[in-house]
Amino acid sequence: MTDTSGLTQLGQATALPESPDKAVLERVPNSQQDIDYLVRFTAPEFTSLCPMTGQPDFAHLVIDYVPEAWLVESKSLKLYLGAFRNHGAFHEDCTVAIGRRLVTELAPRWLRIGGYWYPRGGMPIDVFWQTGAPPKDLWLPDQGVAPYRGRG
């Protein structure tokens, strides 16, 4: 059984953080760290703000990672991603910053993030980042997001 005694958000009423920088990403021990396996988080309704206009931007995020010693606690990840709702940044910055923050907090064996952004100015912007080559023999499914054609 995983020890969750040090977690401060799970099972508690927790307000949305004011900003991504103030969000607390929590982690739990990986009891299966002797093998490589893929963990996927999908956030189909990710929202941030355009830093120029203040208008909302929307994306479908897919985060894949191979854990080492730590797993991200999912409620803290949801709150972290939700903190971008009032954060002004370009698509590229949001996507890469999320990936880098997860790498900093978890030190996974491998991580990739796909940010499939809905059109701004009539043009969708998709942003992809990964830490390097995935582990050998890892089953790596397609991220499952179709090229933009009224993405749904």
2 falls within a domain: no
CATH number of the domain bearing residue 70: 3.30.1130.10
Q: What is the pLDDT of residue 103?
A: 98
What pTM value is reported for the model? 0.91
Q: In the chain, which residue ranges form alpha helices assigned H by DSSP?
A: 74-82, 91-106
Query: Cα(149)–Cα(138) distance, rounded to whole angstroms?
Result: 30
Instruction: Quote the Cα angle for 50-52-55, to 5°.
Output: 40
26 falls within a domain: no
Tens-place pLDDT, residues 21-48: 999 999 999 999 999 999 999 999 999 9
In terms of residue numbers, what domain contains 95?
Answer: 35-130
Tens-place pLDDT, residues 52-80: 999 999 999 999 999 999 999 999 999 99
138 falls within a domain: no
47 falls within a domain: yes
Residue 57 amino acid letter:
D
Query: Cα(13)–Cα(56) distance, rounded to whole angstroms?
Result: 26
Q: How many structural domains does the chain have?
A: 1
Cα 89 off chain centre by:
15
146 falls within a domain: no
150 falls within a domain: no
- Residues annotated as part of the active site: 50, 57
Query: Cα(30)–Cα(134) distance, rounded to whole angstroms?
Result: 19
